[in-house]
Structures are given as C-alpha cells and as structure tokens.
C-alpha cells in the first residue's frame, strides 16, 4: 500500500483538530510501544517532535507522525493495514482510516461514511 493512513478520533480524519489525539498523549503512547522507535525529528528546538518508525510484517519501514490531532502513517507495505496498525488505533481509542475515507477494522474494510 503506497498511500497514507490516519489514526484519528474524528469521524473523518481531516476533522481531527475537532476531536484530537493530544500530542503529549501520542508521545506517551509511542514511547511505551516497543514496536515503535524514533527514526528522526520534525522541526527545530522546542518545537521539534519525533518521527516514529515501524517495521511491518513484510519488512517494510513506515513512519508515524503526529499532525493536527491525528497520527499520519506514511510508507509502502504489502500487509493488511488493520493487522499492522489496528492495535495502535485501539490503544489510542481512535479509528484507522485511509485517504479515500475507508475504515480498517477487525471485521474488514468498511466503505467511506459519505
């Protein structure tokens, strides 16, 4: 899969600022998750934040970053998005959603809510 996924508490990920995952909450969660490691940084000085990396089951490396109340997942992998990132979404009490609005759940892919 070569497009972005989003972990968000909003009905649609682009509304994440209305129902945000707080940055401090994300950082606390990410630091406690052994499947994530810091792979770089965004920003400078006090404003900088870590870019976390996750190695997928197919060996691909993806990045996870916090942006405007949601977690953005970027990279290419061949696995099932829910199996790769569903536990992270559940751990944050949030949804896993693709760029096209589809939702990934344990029950399968749900169509956009439009």
Q: Which domain holds residue 25?
A: 5-110
The per-residue pLDDT for 106 is 83
The per-residue pLDDT for 114 is 58
Task: Write out pLDDT tens, residues 81-104.
Answer: 999 999 999 999 999 999 888 999
- Give how many domains the chain has, as a whole number: 1
DSSP codes joined into one string, 32-51: H-TTEEEEEEESSGGG-EEE
CA 23 → CA 28, 37, 57, 82, 94, distances in Å? Answer: 9, 16, 27, 22, 14
The per-residue pLDDT for 32 is 97
- What's the whole-number average pLDDT of the chain? 91
The whole-angstrom separation of Cα 41 and Cα 27 is 13
Residue 98 pairs with which residues in a beta bridge?
5
Between residues 29 and 46, the one the model is more confident about: 29
Instruction: Enter the DSSP assignment of 83.
Output: H
**Stated pTM of the model:** 0.90
């Amino acid at each position: 899969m070569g497009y972005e996924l989003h972990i968000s508490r909003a009905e649609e990920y682009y509304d994440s600022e209305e129902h945000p995952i707080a940055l401090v909450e994300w950082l606390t969660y990410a630091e406690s998750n052994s499947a994530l490691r810091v792979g770089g940084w965004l920003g400078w000085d006090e404003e900088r934040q870590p870019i976390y990396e996750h190695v997928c089951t197919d060996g691909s490396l993806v990045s996870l970053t916090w942006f405007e109340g949601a977690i953005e997942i970027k990279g290419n992998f061949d696995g099932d998005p829910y199996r790769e990132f569903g536990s992270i979404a559940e751990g944050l009490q949030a949804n896993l959603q693709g760029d096209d609005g589809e939702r990934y759940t344990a029950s399968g892919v749900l169509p956009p809510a439009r």
